[in-house]
Structure 1
Amino acid sequence: MRKSLMRMTLRQLQVFRSVCEQRSYSRAAEEMSLTQPAVSLQIRQLEELVGQPLFDYVGKKLYLTDAAEALQRAGADIFGRLESLDMQLADLQGSLQGQLSLAVESSAQYFIPHLFAAFRREYPEVSLQLVVVNHAQAIKRLSANRDDLLIMSQVPADMALEFLPFLNNPIIAVAPQAHPLCAREPLSLQELTSWPLLVRETGSGTRKACEEYCHQKRAHFAQTLEVGSLEGQREGVLAGLGLALLPRHAVRRELQEGLLRELPVSELPLLRSWCVVHPRGKHLSPVAQAFFNFVRNQRSQINALAERFAGSLPASSPDN
């Protein structure tokens, strides 16, 4: 190993991480409670130790060099191991402490906070950092090893991943309550195609699953409207812009209140499993391992929680 690398300090890596995240020396200085010249000095010293420039300016935008991307990965590993050490030390003192960094695909964003709340009842000193992403962003985050764990469906087969399916994600067809199709039963997927369909953006896992399934069933929608979120799809249906294929969890309140109707399509629901995922060989922190074990070992509790969440059981029902 180069002797110069041994002279790096954690403070320099913290400043570097902030510049990478903020893409700005001034915003990093504000976040770190430093002056901008102090940030510039730390980065300049770090570049001398690395022996290569870390950032390029193109116009007014800051870009990471290849050396910076390599250093960013190494820094994430270093800070991750320090956080894991902190958790292990807390565990030796008899309590599990620390933060769970969790990324979830948007279709799971409604249920996962309830799942984490059940987990936190067992481990009250664990905190959560949650980010909501689409399927394409989830794959990028897995490749960069940015999170402790990730919740997704349609786990890619061409990546070295460990994954645990734990709950069905039913995708249903929904329409506003006064839509003509609500008076017809049963329906086929093909009968929906004469109406506009609201779809998610490219990169969405729900959109990908629905497109593949509709193609398999030879149900081709002539008119689609692209909306960049599940909430946007839901509001678009309420506004009468068309139909949508949505996770049942995403519209549970609207279904319960009668604002939306689940269409009785014989080929639906389309079932996909939510999975908890991490790169194969990844060293899980004690908090991440505890959450993974909770999901694996508490299936009956998770299923009961999902039923209550969907409204099919009273909220006061006890856990299994």
Structure 2
Amino acid sequence: MRKSLMRITLRQLQVFRAVCESRSYSRAAEQMALTQPAVSLQIRQLEELIGQPLFEYVGKKLYLTEAAEALLRASGDIFDRLESLDMQLSDLQGSLQGQLDLCVESSAKYFIPHLFAAFRRRYPDVSLNLTVVNHAQAVRRLSLSRDDLLIMSQVPQDMALEFMPFLNNPIVAVASLEHPLCDEGELHLQDLTAYPLLVREKGSGTRRACEEYCHQQRAHFPQTLEIGSLDAQREAVAAGLGLALLPRHAVHLELRHGLLRELPVAELPLYRSWCVVHVRGKRLSPVAQAFFGFIREERAQISALATRFSGTARLPEAGIPT
């Protein structure tokens, strides 16, 4: 190993990572509570130790060199190991401490905070960094191994992953209270196709699952409106813009308080399993291991939590996702 690399300090790496994240010396200085000349000095000293430039300007934009990309990966490994060490030392002292970096698909964002709250009652010194994305973004984050764990449905089959199904995600048809179909009895998916269907953006796991299922059931919707988030989709249904196929957990309050109506469609609910996922071979931190174990061991508690969001009877146990 080059002796110069042994002189790199953690502070220099922190400043370097701030510049990489913000793509700006001035924003990195603000983030690190430093002056811009101090940031420039730290980067210049780091470049002298590395022996190569780390950044270059093209026009007014700051870009990472290949050396910077390599250093960014190495620094990530270093800080991950230090975080893991901190957790292990806390564990040796009899208390689990540290942060769980958890990424969830948007359809799970309503339930997962309650699940983490149950976990935190057992481990009160654990903190949470929660990132909410759609399915396509979750897959990209998996390929980069950016998070400790992910909560997703439709686990990719072409990636080396470890996953565990733990809860069903029922997708139901919902309408405004004034919708004509609310006066009908039992319906079929085909009955819904005469009305506009509100769908999520491309890349949404719920949209993909519903499109595949409707295709299987030969239910084709000629009128669709694309709505870019679950919350906006829910409000658009309430406004009378159309029907939607939504996770029941996302609309449980509206259903419970009579703001939306779940339509009695014979082919629904459509069940997909939420799974906790990580890249196979990934070294999990003690906090991530504890959260994974909590999900595996506390199925009864998770099922009891889920009944608050179901609006119906107790949900069946989750199976292998399809």
TM-score w.r.t. the length of structure 1 is: 0.94
Taking the TM superposition and a 5 Å limit, the aligned residue runs for 1:62-141 are: 62-141=62-141
AA matched with 2:233: Q
Structure 1 spans left out of the alignment, 5+ residues: 314-320
* Match of residue 150 from structure 2: 150
* Match of residue 21 from structure 1: 21
What displacement does 1:282 show?
Answer: 0.7
* RMSD (CA atoms): 1.6
AA matched with 1:39: V
Q: Distance in 2 between matches of 1:52 and 1:213?
A: 54
AA matched with 1:30: E
Q: Distance in 2 between matches of 1:305 and 1:254?
A: 18
Contact 2:255–2:311 (CA under 8 A) maintained in structure 1: no
Q: Determine what percentage of the aligned residue pairs are the same residue.
A: 79
What displacement does 1:286 show?
Answer: 0.6
Residue deviations 1:37-91 (CA, integer Å, cap 9, x gap): 1112222232333343333333333333333333222212211110110010011
* Match of residue 226 from structure 1: 226
Q: Distance in 2 between matches of 1:198 and 1:50?
A: 53
Q: Distance in 2 between matches of 1:113 and 1:58?
A: 42
* Match of residue 186 from structure 1: 186
* Deviating more after overlay: 3-12 vs 84-93: 3-12
Residues 76 and 215 of structure 1, relative CA distance in 2, 3 Å threshold: same
What displacement does 1:226 show?
Answer: 1.0
AA matched with 1:3: K
AA matched with 1:63: Y
AA matched with 2:95: S
Residues 59 and 204 of structure 1, relative CA distance in 2, 3 Å threshold: farther
What displacement does 1:311 show?
Answer: 4.9
AA matched with 2:28: A
What displacement does 1:5 show?
Answer: 2.7
Residues 312 and 198 of structure 1, relative CA distance in 2, 3 Å threshold: closer
AA matched with 1:75: S
What displacement does 1:104 show?
Answer: 0.6
Residue deviations 1:9-45 (CA, integer Å, cap 9, x gap): 1111111111122222111101101111111222223
* Match of residue 276 from structure 1: 276
Contact 2:106–2:134 (CA under 8 A) maintained in structure 1: yes
Residues 252 and 6 of structure 1, relative CA distance in 2, 3 Å threshold: same
- Does residue 294 of structure 1 match 2:284? no
AA matched with 2:68: A
Structure 2 spans left out of the alignment, 5+ residues: 314-322
Q: Distance in 2 between matches of 1:137 and 1:63?
A: 23
TM-score w.r.t. the length of structure 2 is: 0.93
* Deviating more after overlay: 59-68 vs 205-214: 59-68
What displacement does 1:171 show?
Answer: 0.8
AA matched with 2:134: N
Residue deviations 1:153-194 (CA, integer Å, cap 9, x gap): 111011111111100011111100110011112111122112
Residue deviations 1:108-140 (CA, integer Å, cap 9, x gap): 000000000000111111111111111111111
* Match of residue 217 from structure 2: 217
* Match of residue 8 from structure 1: 8
Q: Distance in 2 between matches of 1:211 and 1:132?
A: 22
SS at 1:268 equivalent: coil
AA matched with 2:216: Q
SS at 2:104 equivalent: strand
* Deviating more after overlay: 79-88 vs 185-194: 185-194
What displacement does 1:312 show?
Answer: 5.2
* Match of residue 38 from structure 1: 38
* Match of residue 316 from structure 1: none
* Match of residue 47 from structure 2: 47
SS at 1:187 equivalent: coil
How many residue pairs end up in the alignment?
A: 314
* Match of residue 318 from structure 1: none
Residue deviations 1:241-271 (CA, integer Å, cap 9, x gap): 1111111000011101111111111111111
Taking the TM superposition and a 5 Å limit, the aligned residue runs for 1:297-312 are: 297-311=297-311
AA matched with 2:9: T
AA matched with 2:205: G
AA matched with 1:111: F
